[in-house]
Amino acid sequence: MPIYSYQNPNTKEVFEVLRSFKDWDKPYILEDGTKCKRVFDYRNIGVIDKNAEVFQKDPDYVKKCKPKFIKYNDGHREKYDPTRHC
């Protein structure tokens, strides 16, 4: 089941709810009877930079993985050096 974002019309608060696919277009009704419309929450979208290498995007994650080699976007690979690649 996917997670959908809804906005409370009174408080303007955006919250997420786990709902089935068949209910995606139905408004979410709170316990107090308030109908909340489904909205697209832009806060959860990350920025994609296809020009950056993986070790440039998240160097801490790459260090935790301790890879032996690093593969670049153009296809060549090098031996991993934490002082050089992070």
Domain coordinates of the chain in residue numbers?
Answer: 3-44, 54-85
At residue 47, the pLDDT reads: 63
pLDDT band at 68 (very low <50, low <70, confident <90, very high): very high
Q: Are strands 35-39 and 3-7 parallel, antiparallel or unpaired?
A: antiparallel
pTM for the predicted model, two decimal places = 0.49
pLDDT of 73 higher than 90: no
12: left (phi over 0), alpha (psi -120 to 50) or beta: left
> For the segment 9-54, what is each residue's pLDDT rounded down to a tens digit?
999 999 999 999 898 889 999 999 999 999 987 666 666 667 888 7
Alpha helices for the chain (secondary structure H): 54-57, 59-65, 82-85
Mean pLDDT over residues 61-73, rounded? 88
